[in-house]
């Protein structure tokens, strides 16, 4: 990820760090061997949870972009 500027909002930088740590956890989880197949109901629950998380992260990234744009006078 690009190095943040000194003028960036500290909350935005903290949010970016949290997102980076979450991405690292996701990458580590995908590197682990897959367990035996889960029941279909469990897979659907996980898909729904994943979609909710994806939407939250997308919204957070949009907010960070807006904060950074506002901080840079854009």
8 A C-beta contact, residue 25 and residue 63:
no
In the chain, alpha helices (H) = 10-31, 40-71
Per-residue pLDDT band at 1 (split at 50, 70, 90): very low
Q: Is residue 58 part of a domain?
A: yes
Q: What pTM, to 2 d.p., does this model score?
A: 0.46
In a domain, 2, yes or no: no
What is the number of other CB atoms lying within 10 angstroms of the CB of residue 12? 19
Question: Do 8 and 68 contact (CB within 8 A), yes or no?
Answer: yes
In a domain? residue 56: yes
| Predicted confidence (pLDDT) per residue in 26-70, tens digit | 999 888 887 777 788 888 999 999 999 999 999 999 999 888 888
pLDDT tier at 3, thresholds 50, 70, 90? low
Domain of residue 50 covers 10-30+38-71
Whether 3 maps to a domain, the answer reads no
């Amino acid at each position: 990820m690009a190095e943040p500027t000194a003028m960036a909002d500290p909350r935005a930088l903290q949010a970016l760090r949290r997102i980076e740590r979450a991405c690292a956890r996701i990458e580590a989880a995908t590197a682990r061997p897959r367990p035996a197949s889960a029941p279909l109901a469990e897979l659907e629950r996980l898909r729904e949870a994943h979609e909710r998380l994806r939407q939250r992260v997308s919204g957070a990234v949009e907010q960070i972009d807006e904060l950074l744009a506002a901080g840079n006078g854009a």
